[in-house]
């Protein structure tokens, strides 16, 4: 079995979840970690048995022992660090949002092609078995033609969580959590023909509460709620002409799924999960590297850019 040595940049909260996911993948090995805080890196390395502490991000990407880098820093630094990986020929899995502007997306794509190196956004939900179950149900016609999608993600964010509210750190509900409902709607229905939105922003221009409607020429529609101000159900309901699918709280994580026929009959279709869910995106990266790909077929760069495009439109 081919083993891939991972380096982690930014040992924060989400990196801990990712490191747990690495443990569930036999072909993955945590080789090293880099942080702006030596002490935080040391504690992280001890917790997950990383072999090497790096004094800088540059030192990590220059290490020939590292095969692939996971970037888990604040949103504003994703582009720069992904670019650093590209320029040093390191495969990169970068937390969402991959970039904050479309120009950044285009530059990273060009670098990936120039250096022939793998790059993927770490939108872990895309690779969960639940999404495959949803795709299969729809393709098999279990709920007929999609008529409406209602999906939300919201919580009451603490003012102490500064990164969520600071524009210089890429703050805002759309960047941080809105990407999940947008992913589901664009994945299932594609690009809309009409958009309506109600966006509440702070005095610094950071979005904190969003109501979004997408409309399609087919007659389908999607309603998304994304908020740092409200505790929302965090569920997804996909209504079709012959029934509906419900993804229970928290829908973007491993969750319970039910399919209802118009008669009211219910079918439990929840898949079996292994690991904490982050292992599935890790396995996708390994598969792509083994096949010599620069990007994932399940989450191609073009789709990540599409997400970025619609976030930009909604933030206008």
Average confidence (pLDDT) over 165-194: 97
What tokens were used for 208?
Answer: 């904190």
Between 8-22, 169-183, 257-271, the lowest mean confidence (pLDDT) is in 257-271
Q: How confident is the model at residue 269 (pLDDT cuts 50, 70, 90)?
A: confident
Average confidence (pLDDT) over 24-28: 98
Query: Among 70, 69, 8, which Cα is nearest to 33's?
Result: 8
Q: What are the tens digits of pLDDT across the range 193-239?
A: 999 999 999 999 999 999 999 999 999 999 999 999 999 999 999 99
Task: Please tell me the predicted confidence (pLDDT) of residue 263.
Answer: 84
Q: What are the tens digits of pLDDT across the range 55-100?
A: 999 999 999 999 999 999 999 999 999 999 999 999 999 999 999 9
Q: Per-residue pLDDT for 265 more than 90?
A: no
Instruction: Classify domain 129-272 by CATH number.
Output: 3.30.360.10
The rounded distance, in Å, linking the Cα atoms of 273 and 21 is 12
Task: Please tell me the predicted confidence (pLDDT) of residue 249.
Answer: 96
As a three-state string, the secondary structure of 157-190 is CCCCCHHHCCHHHCCCHHHHHHHHHHHHHHHHHC
Task: Please tell me the predicted confidence (pLDDT) of residue 206.
Answer: 96
Q: What are the tens digits of pLDDT across the range 117-139?
A: 999 999 999 999 999 999 999 99
List the beta strands (DSSP E) in the chain. Answer: 4-9, 28-34, 52-54, 68-71, 91-95, 119-122, 146-154, 194-201, 207-215, 221-227, 236-240, 243-247, 257-261, 266-268
Q: How confident is the model at residue 275 (pLDDT cuts 50, 70, 90)?
A: very high
122 three-class SS: strand
Instruction: Classify domain 4-122 by CATH number.
Output: 3.40.50.720
Going across the sheet that includes 91-95, the strands are 52-54, 28-34, 4-9, 68-71, 91-95, 119-122
Better-scored residue on pLDDT, 118 or 158: 118
Residues sharing a CB contact under 8 Å with residue 263, sequence separation 6 or more, in sequence order: none
Task: Please tell me the predicted confidence (pLDDT) of residue 176.
Answer: 97
- Annotated domain spans of the chain: 4-122, 129-272
Cβ contact 245:144 at 8 Å: no
Helix and strand numbers (H, E) in the chain are 10, 14
The rounded distance, in Å, linking the Cα atoms of 189 and 238 is 11
Task: Please tell me the predicted confidence (pLDDT) of residue 270.
Answer: 83
Q: The tokens 């947008």 sit on which residue?
A: 182
Cβ contact 151:213 at 8 Å: no
Q: How confident is the model at residue 160 (pLDDT cuts 50, 70, 90)?
A: confident
Average confidence (pLDDT) over 185-197: 98
pTM: 0.96
């Amino acid at each position: 079995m081919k083993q891939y040595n991972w380096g982690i940049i930014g040992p924060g909260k989400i990196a801990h979840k990712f490191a747990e996911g690495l443990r569930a993948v036999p072909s993955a090995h945590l080789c090293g970690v880099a942080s702006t805080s030596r002490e935080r890196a040391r504690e992280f390395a001890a917790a997950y048995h990383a072999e090497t502490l790096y004094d800088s991000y540059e030192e990590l990407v220059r290490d020939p022992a590292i095969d692939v880098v996971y970037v888990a820093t604040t949103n504003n630094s994703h582009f720069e660090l992904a670019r650093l990986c590209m320029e040093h020929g390191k495969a990169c899995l970068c937390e969402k949002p991959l970039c904050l502007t479309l120009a950044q997306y285009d530059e990273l794509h060009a670098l990936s092609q120039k250096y022939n190196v793998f790059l993927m956004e770490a939108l872990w939900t895309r690779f969960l078995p639940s999404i495959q179950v949803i795709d299969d149900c729809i393709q098999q016609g279990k709920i007929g033609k999609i008529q409406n999608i209602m999906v939300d993600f919201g919580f009451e964010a603490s003012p102490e969580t500064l990164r969520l509210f600071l524009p210089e750190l890429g703050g805002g509900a759309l960047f941080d959590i809105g990407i999940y409902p947008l992913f589901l709607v664009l994945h299932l229905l594609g690009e809309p023909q009409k958009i309506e939105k109600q966006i509440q922003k702070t005095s610094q221009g950071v979005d904190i509460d969003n109501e979004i409607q997408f409309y399609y020429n087919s007659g389908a529609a999607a309603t998304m709620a994304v908020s740092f101000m409200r505790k929302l159900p965090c569920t997804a309901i996909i209504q079709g002409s012959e029934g509906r699918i419900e993804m229970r709280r928290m829908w973007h994580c491993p969750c319970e799924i039910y399919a209802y026929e118009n008669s009211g009959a219910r079918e439990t279709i929840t898949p079996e999960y292994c690991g904490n869910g982050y292992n599935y995106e890790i396995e996708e990266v390994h598969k792509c590297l083994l096949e010599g790909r620069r990007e994932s077929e399940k989450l191609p760069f073009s789709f990540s850019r599409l997400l970025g495009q619609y976030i930009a439109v909604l933030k206008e």
